Structures are given as structure tokens and as C-alpha cells.
Amino acid sequence: MRLDHVRIVLCRPQHPGNIGAAARAMKTMGLSDLRLVAPLRYPDPESQWMATHALDVLQAAQVHAKLEEAISDCVAAFALSVRPREWAPAVLEARAAAAKALELEGKVAFVFGAERTGLENDEVFACQYLVHIPSSPGQGSLNLAQAVQVVAYELFMATAAGAIEFPEKRRKRATVQDLEGLYAHLEQAAVGVGFLDPGSGSKLRERWRRLFARAELEREEVNILRGLLNALQAPKSK
């Protein structure tokens, strides 16, 4: 996979300077697809000042109201978080995440949270992988633009080193939109047969998200599962 298939998504960024600095970090490592989800201040002169030699990346950035809109056409999304989550997707270090992303056929997104609060739980669970950037014990998280730079560097080095072997047969991975459709269908079926009580506080939804994230479903496999659910939900003939 080429670097032009990699997307950087900033969720609810609060400081325009970080948006500009993230654009610059991307440009230096060959990335150009920047998405902003509900930015507090954008466009803003400060973001332009910080986007030295990367105004083209900044000006081409697309703004979305929700994270789901920014990643719906991606086959995988990687959530950056310094905080461990009990019900988190598969956890990778930044270097392993870069290698994994470059193995995939289709668009992938690396998703970063707001400067003060990071990603919300629902934003993490919209992704298939949780990514940590190792740091010195006892130290806090990196600045947003610095985190983008680290991830962009690892992606660039994984490509430049030529360490990735592409398989002859390429899998057509399910997109985030495909997976969300499957999860909604599973919930509908589970509620319909009384297997899931929506108000019970059950962790069933999180568990099947973890299960299918590990499975790395292909689009055809999602269609098979949804076809099975449709068949099971069909009225029985007498």
C-alpha cells in the first residue's frame, strides 16, 4: 500500500497551531490526506503559520461533523491513545501499527483525539486497533502534532525500508461502514430474539466488536454473515 492511502484524522482539535503543525509533519513524511472532526477553530491564521511548506495539505483538509464520516470508506482505523481501555480493540505499538497499516489493501486512518481529553470511548470503538506510542515511564502523552509526526515517521520508514512484502492475492477488506452495518444487524437480531436486553448494561456489543476486529473480516464475509442473519430473521412458513 502506498502512503497516499493513509489518512490522518484529528478529532475535536482545540488548538489551530496543532492542526498546522500536524499538516507539516504529514508533508515531511509523504502524507497528504488530513481530516478534521469538529475542530474548535478552523480555519485560523495560527494553523497557517504552523503549516510551514505544507499549506497545500492544510488547505485540502476536509472537515467532518463526526468521526464515522471521516473513516467510513476505510478498511481499518487505528486509534491513538495513551490510556489503556478495558474493552479496547487489538493493541499495537506505533511501529507495529505502521507495518500493519501498510499490509492492508485500501484506505486506512490513524485517529487522534483532542489535546486535553484524547479520544472518547465511542471513538476508540469505531476503530479496529488501539495504538500506543512508547514513552519514558511516568511521563504524560505527547503533544498532538508530535504524535502525528511519530506515526508519520513510522509509516514513512516502513515504506522507504521496503520491508513490507505484498501478497500476490489481495484481500478486499470490509470497510468501517460495512462493519458498522453488521454490528447494527447483530444488535437488531439479538434484541429481536431476546438474547440482548438493550437496557441491561451488557458488554455484548463491545465483545462482538473485539471479536470481529481480530477476525479482520473481508467484505464477502460480512455479506455472508448478514445474509445468515436475514435468513434467521425471515418468517417461518407453515
Q: Are 35 and 64 in contact (CB under 8 A)?
A: yes
Average pLDDT over residues 211-216: 94
Give domain status of residue 196, yes or no: yes
What is the pLDDT, as a whole number, of residue 139?
A: 72
Residues 96 and 148 in one domain: yes
What is the pLDDT, as a whole number, of residue 86?
A: 61
- Digit-coded pLDDT (tens) for 74-116: 999 999 987 666 656 678 999 999 999 999 999 999 999 999 8
Residues 125 and 7 in one domain: yes
Average pLDDT over residues 139-150: 90
Residues 46 and 7 in one domain: yes
Give domain status of residue 197, yes or no: yes
Residues 140 and 202 in one domain: no
Residues 115 and 91 in one domain: yes
Residues 139 and 28 in one domain: yes
Give domain status of residue 189, yes or no: yes
Residue type (1 letter), 90: A
Domain that holds residue 193: 176-233
Residues 120 and 219 in one domain: no
**Residue 140 pLDDT more than 90?**
no
The model's confidence at residue 141, banded by pLDDT at 50, 70 and 90, is confident
Quote the cell numbers at residue 18: 496543532
Average pLDDT over residues 141-169: 80
Give domain status of residue 9, yes or no: yes
Give domain status of residue 38, yes or no: yes
Residues 113 and 189 in one domain: no
Choosing from 135, 160, 185, the residue where a domain stops is: 160
Give domain status of residue 169, yes or no: no
Average pLDDT over residues 113-124: 92
Q: What CATH number does the domain containing 153 carry?
A: 3.40.1280.10
What is the pLDDT, as a whole number, of residue 104?
A: 93
Give domain status of residue 238, yes or no: no
Q: What CATH number does the domain containing 194 carry?
A: 1.10.8.590
Residues 48 and 145 in one domain: yes
Residues 123 and 189 in one domain: no
What is the pLDDT, as a whole number, of residue 72?
A: 97
Residue type (1 letter), 104: L
Choosing from 108, 127, 160, the residue where a domain stops is: 160
Q: The pTM is what?
A: 0.79
- Tally Cβ neighbours within 10 Å of residue 61: 22
Of 16-25, 60-69, 79-88, 182-191, give the lowest mean pLDDT range: 79-88
**Residue 21 pLDDT more than 60?**
yes
Quote the cell numbers at residue 8: 490522518
Average pLDDT over residues 59-71: 98
**Residue 26 pLDDT more than 80?**
yes
Average pLDDT over residues 194-204: 93
Supply φ then ψ for residue 154, to 5 degrees: -65, -40
Residues 216 and 146 in one domain: no
Number of domain units in the chain: 2
Query: Residue 109 pairs with which residues in a beta bridge?
Result: 7, 77
Residues 61 and 100 in one domain: yes
Give domain status of residue 71, yes or no: yes
Choosing from 125, 160, 195, the residue where a domain stops is: 160
